[in-house]
């Protein structure tokens, strides 16, 4: 069962769910990939954060702009306290040049107890 989140968390989840249901909104979602294993997907849909993280990784593509489903599942896991998911989101946002969000998720990962190798510094 999912933990209770803040009102902002619920709004984010609803917006994210609506976006994914509509095909990822701002991203072109590659529908040719294999879906995650049904058992893992079922566990993720019922609130297992480790399963959410595994589902997210199964949706990862080589093009960071085409990872809407991965980002969605990582956000669900991150909101539920998965530090590695927060760190992965920081890496994703760094790869697309969204430094503010990258720093935000790196700080969240640290608050959740996950310390990765990422040093976020802007280069000039």
Domain boundaries along the sequence of the chain = 7-111
The H or E element spanning position 44 is helix 38-45
The pTM is what? 0.68
Alpha carbon of residue 71 to chain centroid: 4
Let me know if 56 is exposed, middle or buried by CB neighbors in 10 A (0-12, 13-18, 19+).
Answer: buried
**Do the beta carbons of residue 24 and residue 69 sit within 8 Å?**
yes
Q: Tens-of-pLDDT digits for all 124 residues of the chain? A: 344 444 444 434 444 444 444 333 333 444 445 568 899 999 999 999 999 999 999 988 878 777 899 999 999 999 999 999 999 999 999 999 999 999 999 999 999 999 887 666 655 5
């Amino acid at each position: 069962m999912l933990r209770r989140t803040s009102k902002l968390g619920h709004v984010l989840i609803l917006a994210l769910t609506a976006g994914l249901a509509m095909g990822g909104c701002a991203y072109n979602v590659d529908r040719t990939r294999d879906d995650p294993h049904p058992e893992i997907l079922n566990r993720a849909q019922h609130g297992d954060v480790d399963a959410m993280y595994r589902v997210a990784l199964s949706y990862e593509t080589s093009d960071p702009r085409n990872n809407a489903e991965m980002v969605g599942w990582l956000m669900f896991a991150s909101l539920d306290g998965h530090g590695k998911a927060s760190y992965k989101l920081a890496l994703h946002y760094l790869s697309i040049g969204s430094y503010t969000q990258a720093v935000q998720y790196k700080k969240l990962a640290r608050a959740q107890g996950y310390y990765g190798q990422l040093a976020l510094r802007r280069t000039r």
